[in-house]
Amino acid sequence: SKQRRTPVATEHLRSNGRRLRLYHLQGALAFASIEPVVRELGLSVALDVGHLVRDGLDELGALARLLPLTRVVQWHGTDPNDRDHRSIEHYPRERALGLLSALRAAGYGGVLTLEVFRAADLESSRRVLASLLAELDASIPHAPRASG
């Protein structure tokens, strides 16, 4: 069976002006086994929700657990031919709304990157993102305006 390279987290550690970057591969090393060290050392995490969804994992559970450590959320879709780093039009819409709602509710101030590598996927992702944000905005009850 084909083992997928799944980046779950990238941690940075400054020591003597150097950075340590760990590219985490699912299967080779479960993140849960290094999570205590990441927390103890105060390292930050880049969470690739595109790969989590592609691999059938719970991205919202990972986000809830790791958001205080997360500095970058990497987001992309996987097309019907199982090619990832495609437009988020290939990311399940309800999950996309859940992701954006969770980030908004938490007041996430880190980076949300559309991790796509083709201009057409970027343009499509931008349109989908605008549509998702408009849908979320429309679902938020607005306070009545004061008359007068």
- Give residue-wise pLDDT tens across range 42-71: 888 889 999 899 988 899 998 998 999 898
Distance of alpha carbon 13 from alpha carbon 45, whole angstroms: 11
Whether the CB-CB separation of 77 and 87 falls below 8 Å is answered with yes
**How much is the pLDDT for 143?**
52
* Confidence (pTM): 0.77
pLDDT digits (tens, 9 = 90+) for 112-121: 999 999 999 9
How is residue 81 written in tokens? Answer: 């031919």
Collect the ranges in the chain with pLDDT lower than 50.
Answer: 1-17, 25, 27-28
